[in-house]
Amino acid sequence: MRVVVVGGSGHIGTFLVPRLVRAGHEVVNITRGTRTSYTDAVEWREVEQVTADRAQEDSNGVFARRVADLRPDAVVDLLCFTTDSARALVDGIRGEVAHLLHCGSLWRYGPALFAPIAEGEGTPAIDEYGEQKEAIAQLLKAETAAGGLTTTSIHPGHISGPGWAPIGPLGNLDPRAWSTLAAGEILRIPGSGAEYMHHVHADDVAQLFQLALEQRDAAAGEDFHAVAATALNVTGFAHIAAGWFGQQAHLESVGWDTFRAGTTNEFADASWGHLHRNHVLSIEKSERVLGYLPAYRPEEAILTGLRSVIDSGDVVVPRPIVV
């Protein structure tokens, strides 16, 4: 197939684009041109690169036409965040493209009432980002159900991989959590420590996109979760991470007010956002319908990202990783 990937130089596209090339597909990557992929791969030499500012072209009403003019069989949209943007693309490629695949988010759901959460069974989203991702998923379902464009939405967890910092055991990107665990010092955790996060390696997300792309009939009008087969809670995550440095985790549970007083508003808000949701998602549908088989446990996915940012010097720890 000829496949247009919108935003293919990001976390997912870094792995998806080479996967598609290896599978024999002709790939076009639409990018703003401000960065390259997170890891190098020889397959990128075979990729057609198109530079475009999605947000600007959406506002000018020309982005969907740009995509359609590339004459793709399928479009993988990794860079859509509003229903207006999604609707414009759907309207612009309907009748010209066989399949549109959209990247959603596990934040389409609010705080968990049970676990695991099957597709569409979570509580309503609690922020605009999640509300938009859920609305896009429903828009795409309705489009396909009405006999229009064939669509699929895939909803990743917390994406980890080489080249960027993973969401840490506190549910944020504070590098001090890693240095505290590496030093064997006390790590203050907000809440009970039983709150879950559901990570996934970027290549496993790419795997599910490829499976859906290559099984269009099975994926038509459906939504799927892309997460690891297991999830980590705060306490377990911290103990595993401390072990990477040859240490034992020493944890102190504190209230949220105390936790907020010891960090920045940005990190505190991120922690609340991740831990308050307490997400564990089901992949039963992804396995049964598409044959999804995650290659990475969550701790393995996280470790690949952590190693890379320590090696690059973006995160500094007092002890090296020993595993």
Check residue 33 and give its pLDDT.
78
Asked whether residue 321 is domain-assigned, the answer is no
Burial of residue 114 (CB within 10 Å: 0-12, 13-18, 19+) is: exposed
pLDDT higher than 90, residue 38:
no
Check residue 60 and give its pLDDT.
96
| CATH number of the domain enclosing 266 | 3.90.25.10
Q: Are residues 150 and 245 in the same domain?
A: no
Q: Residue 101's closest CA among 188, 278, 186, 223?
A: 223
Q: Are residues 122 and 257 in the same domain?
A: no
Asked whether residue 138 is domain-assigned, the answer is yes
Number of compact structural domains in the chain: 2
More confident residue, 39 or 266: 266
Asked whether residue 320 is domain-assigned, the answer is no
| CATH number of the domain enclosing 143 | 3.40.50.720
Q: Are residues 77 and 194 in the same domain?
A: no
Q: Are residues 69 and 145 in the same domain?
A: yes
Asked whether residue 322 is domain-assigned, the answer is no
Q: Residue 206's closest CA among 26, 35, 14, 44?
A: 14
Q: What percent of the chain has pLDDT above 70?
A: 99
Q: Are residues 44 and 173 in the same domain?
A: no
What is the rounded average pLDDT for all residues in the chain? 97
Check residue 29 and give its pLDDT.
97
pLDDT higher than 70, residue 34:
no
Asked whether residue 220 is domain-assigned, the answer is yes
At 126-167, the pLDDT tens digits run 999 999 999 999 999 999 999 999 999 999 999 999 999 999
Crossing angle of helices 128-145 and 83-93, in 10° steps, is 30
Q: Are residues 91 and 64 in the same domain?
A: yes
Q: Are residues 75 and 174 in the same domain?
A: no
Q: Are residues 68 and 212 in the same domain?
A: yes
Check residue 52 and give its pLDDT.
95
Q: How far is CA 203 from CA 77, 80, 109, 227, in A?
A: 16, 20, 23, 11
Average pLDDT over residues 261-281: 98
The CA distance from 270 to 261, in Å, is: 14
Domain that holds residue 95: 2-159+200-226
Greatest Cα-to-Cα distance within the chain, rounded to the nearest angstrom: 60
Confidence of residue 111 (pLDDT cuts 50, 70, 90): very high
At 52-106, the pLDDT tens digits run 999 999 999 999 999 999 999 999 999 999 999 999 999 999 999 999 999 999 9
Q: Tokens in use for 323?
A: 């595993």
The CA distance from 74 to 51, in Å, is: 19
Asked whether residue 323 is domain-assigned, the answer is no
Asked whether residue 317 is domain-assigned, the answer is no
3-state class of 129 per DSSP? helix
User: Tokens 């530079």 sit at which residue?
Assistant: 51
At 220-238, the pLDDT tens digits run 999 999 999 999 999 999 9
